[in-house]
Amino acid sequence: MPAQGDVIVVGGAGAVGSMFVDLLRDDGRSVTVLDRTRGSDLVGDISCPDGPVRGALAQAELIVLAVAEQTALAALPTLTRAARADTLIVDTLSVKSRIAVAVEESGRAGEFLGLNPMFRPSLGPRGRAVIAVPYVDGPRCREFLDEVRSWGASTPVMDPDRHDRLAAATQALTHASVLAFGLALTELDVAPELALDVGPPPHRTLSALLARIVTGEPEVYWDVQSGNPYAATARKALTAAAARLEAATGNFDDFSDLVASAAGALGNQSEELNEVATTLFEDLGSHEAERNRE
């Protein structure tokens, strides 16, 4: 068995775990990957640990849980018994409410930090947000957040409830909107290839977002929709918005009012975001022109 380091990444063979493994090793950290996958540094089950796993946990200064919520919750009794009180434990779950309650009920006194990288791991953290939710705060939490910021990420700090409300708006609602777009397209009897050939930039952009989701791991998106306590409210708001749009199409004044109301979602950033869209569409056009020349 490889020598144990000061960091253990549980689920380090997965996409999120691999990102943390690479970033931490680039920082000079000695990292052990604990995973059920054969070929991992330490093969084992965090929720039902054998002797080597318990021994490794007892040595670690930092334990990163890059696992599904069910696994993280099941691991808490093990971590409470095996990890040192001065060990920082970090989860990467997309929903924070339940783990926050479980950490409190576990009786663990040591520092425990929730992180949520708001991007697909393959993109990397530079220029992106990693939301921080300190369940049990302290100096190790703050030091690790300094390290995350050194990777180029921003680390807005918030409590579990605010995190889940924000994630429902920015992840659950966004994903639901894109999936609804795809489902609606399948009902319109239009060949996808033709729609993409002649469709304007907004259509191609939404189609690209749809492709991003459907080529990803369904479990990731299901977790956001099923696990977040505010996701159902977000989906109901989407359904109500579609009904409001339908009602407004019969009268221009009503439709104009609807567009003005929708602008409220952008705050004071509508001009800046319009410029982002222009740049995005120009890049999309350049990509298509290059593809057509091939």
Summary mean pLDDT of the chain: 94
- CA torsion, points 233, 272, 152, 217, in degrees to nearest 10? 40
Alpha-carbon span 59 to 6, nearest angstrom: 7
Mean pLDDT over residues 73-86, rounded? 94
Q: Which distant-in-sequence residues (6+ apart) come within 8 Å of 143 by Cβ?
A: none
State both tokens at 123.
Answer: 């993109």
CB neighbours (10 Å) of residue 153?
A: 23
H or E element in which residue 292 lies: helix 270-293
Mean pLDDT over residues 14-22, rounded? 97
Alpha-carbon span 45 to 279, nearest angstrom: 47
Query: Was domain 7-158 assigned CATH 3.30.420.40?
Result: no
Cα angle, residue 91 at apex, residues 16 and 51 outer, rounded to 5°? 95
Is the per-residue pLDDT at 103 higher than 90? yes
Report yes or no: 155 and 130 within 8 Å, Cβ to Cβ. Answer: yes
DSSP 123: G
State both tokens at 248.
Answer: 């407004």
Predicted TM-score (pTM) of the model is: 0.90
Is the per-residue pLDDT at 292 higher than 70? no
pLDDT digits (tens, 9 = 90+) for 165-196: 999 999 999 999 999 999 999 999 999 999 99
Alpha-carbon span 129 to 152, nearest angstrom: 9
Alpha-carbon span 133 to 168, nearest angstrom: 16
